[in-house]
């Protein structure tokens, strides 16, 4: 081997030796990888939400078995008689017609490709006052919610709100986002997240994972108010259920709703503002429509 040139300095010993402990370097690299994968998962989740409304409704409806399984595990078999189920469905059908009329007037196209006969309205037994729309245009209302309102107008606001969620394709957007995140977490955390993913796909984990954003809730409220004004000529009485939530959030019957439907006070402000447009003077407000006889449930249910 030839000698080094005179002007070429000799490298000091241990030049590649790091002063940091190898484990420290490893954990820094691991943290960087986890953060990068997490950021990628959230980016894919946002993309899934954006693409979800373009999924044909028939594809969404074919996945509705997830809802049926989750609801049965959470609430059990339907505990209400056919007359009660029919009364709820009939009110829902009338509101669907009003919603279509509003959409036609305003030139709206969101969700109007979903046929009205695809919607189902079902009463379920629960101590929590709640309602939710899910995949396949399935709308569920708990008996505790119906027992907490005193007029058809208040119940109609809840149903019209859930109809609006379906029209805007909010259930599939929320479901796809939750599913993508769970799949990504399963890839990152292996066994623990795999169990979470299985819980999402079968059982009550699906109902827990699916929640709507504040923007989605306000969009649904605005459309629901338009539907009520079309149907009743005003939105007076639409705020009853939400006022109950605001006043009774310490009650376990309301806890589930407040966890999945944020910012009740803001929503009340929107409802009150729209009501003043149709009923400027509360002293001359039109009478509220009583609940259909089969739906006059006691508050304890």
End-to-end distance of the chain based on CA atoms, in angstroms?
A: 94
Interatomic CA distance for residues 134 and 174, integer angstroms:
9
Say what the pLDDT of residue 176 is: 74
Residue 220 is encoded by which pair of tokens? Answer: 């649904």
Say what the pLDDT of residue 29 is: 78
pLDDT values of the chain reduced to their tens digit, one per residue, 301 residues: 556 566 666 666 666 666 666 676 777 777 777 677 666 656 665 666 666 677 788 888 887 777 777 777 777 766 678 999 999 999 999 999 999 999 999 888 888 999 999 999 999 988 888 899 988 899 999 999 999 999 999 999 999 999 999 999 998 888 776 655 555 555 555 555 545 544 554 445 555 556 778 888 999 999 999 999 999 999 999 999 988 887 765 544 444 454 455 578 888 889 999 999 999 998 889 999 999 999 997 655 5
Question: Which pTM does this prediction carry?
Answer: 0.76
Say what the pLDDT of residue 256 is: 45
Contacting residues for 248 by C-beta, under 8 A, at least 6 apart = 254
Name residue, tokens 């409806």.
61
Say what the pLDDT of residue 220 is: 94
Say what the pLDDT of residue 235 is: 95
Of 182, 170, 189, nearest to 41 by C-alpha is 182
Interatomic CA distance for residues 251 and 247, integer angstroms:
9
Say what the pLDDT of residue 46 is: 65
Q: How many degrees, rounded to 5, is the angle at CA 28 between CA 24 and CA 31?
A: 135
Say what the pLDDT of residue 288 is: 96
């Amino acid at each position: 081997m030839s000698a080094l040139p005179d002007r070429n300095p000799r490298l000091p010993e241990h030049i590649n030796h790091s002063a940091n402990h190898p484990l420290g370097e490893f954990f820094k690299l691991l943290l960087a990888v986890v953060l990068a994968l997490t950021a990628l998962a959230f980016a894919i989740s946002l993309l899934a939400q954006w693409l979800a409304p373009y999924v044909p409704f028939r594809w969404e409806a074919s996945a509705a078995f997830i809802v049926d399984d989750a609801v049965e595990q959470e609430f059990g078999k339907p505990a209400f008689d056919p007359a009660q189920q029919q009364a709820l469905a009939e009110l829902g059908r009338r509101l669907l017609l009003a919603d279509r009329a509003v959409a036609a007037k305003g030139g709206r196209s969101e969700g109007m490709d979903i046929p009205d006969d695809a919607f189902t309205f079902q009463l379920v037994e629960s101590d929590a006052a709640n309602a939710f729309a899910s995949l396949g245009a399935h709308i569920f209302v708990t008996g505790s919610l119906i027992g907490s309102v005193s007029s058809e107008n208040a119940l109609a606001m809840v149903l019209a709100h859930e109809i609006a969620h379906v029209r805007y394709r909010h259930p599939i957007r929320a479901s796809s986002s939750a599913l993508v995140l769970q799949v990504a977490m399963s890839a990152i955390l292996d066994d623990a997240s795999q169990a979470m993913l299985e819980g999402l796909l079968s059982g009550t984990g699906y109902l827990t994972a699916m929640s709507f954003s504040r923007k989605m809730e306000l969009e649904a409220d605005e459309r629901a108010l338009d539907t009520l004004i079309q149907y009743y000529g005003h939105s007076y009485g639409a705020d009853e259920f939400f006022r109950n939530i605001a006043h009774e959030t310490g009650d376990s019957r309301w806890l589930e709703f407040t966890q999945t439907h944020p910012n009740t006070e803001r929503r009340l402000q929107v409802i009150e503002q729209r009501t003043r447009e149709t009923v400027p003077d509360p002293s001359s407000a039109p009478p509220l429509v009583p609940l259909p006889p089969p739906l006059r449930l006691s508050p304890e249910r």
